[in-house]
Structure 1
């Protein structure tokens, strides 16, 4: 399987916790689809203390995994919202 492109997309999105509305990440997202995974190399700013856990309410919004051989965060459905 192919790895993600090295050149980052220009579009950045802000990712918020859907429970407490705290900003979690700033991410270079490509495409128009739903946010299912975040490749770690595309995260421009990380506002969390522990990976995949909201610093405000403590809910787990993602888990660390390998996707196509690249480290990524697999987002749990309904736990985050993007703007």
Structure 2
């Protein structure tokens, strides 16, 4: 399988927990669609203490996965928002 582009997009989005609005990541996202997965190599700033757990409300917002041969987080539907 083809790996995702290492350089990735230059546009960054801020990702927040949808229940407590705590910041989770600054992520280099490509495209206009919904946030389904985050490739770990594209995260520019990580505000979490434990992977996939919100630092404020301590609820899981994603699951670790291997997508296209690269480590990623698969987002749980409705647990995160971004702008």
The two structures share one fold, judged by TM-score above 0.5: yes
Task: After TM superposition, give the deviation of residue 2 of structure 1 in Å.
Answer: 1.2
State the partner residue of 2:2.
2
1:30 deviation in Å?
0.5
Aligned residues: 83
- 1:42 corresponds in structure 2 to 42
Secondary structure, in 3 states, of the residue corresponding to 1:35? Answer: coil
Instruction: Give 3-state SS (helix, strand or coil) of 1:24's partner.
Output: strand
Cross-structure match for 2:29: 29
Shift of the alpha carbon at 1:6? 1.6
| Cα distance in structure 2, aligned partners of 1:15 and 1:23 | 6
- Please provide the CA RMSD for this pair: 0.6
**TM-score of the pair, normalised by structure 1:** 0.97
Q: C-alpha separation between the residues in 1 aligned to 2:3 and 2:33?
A: 18
Moved over 2 A (4+): none
Report what 2:18 is aligned to: 18
TM-score, normalisation: structure 2: 0.97
CA distance in 1, matches of 2:24, 2:59: 12
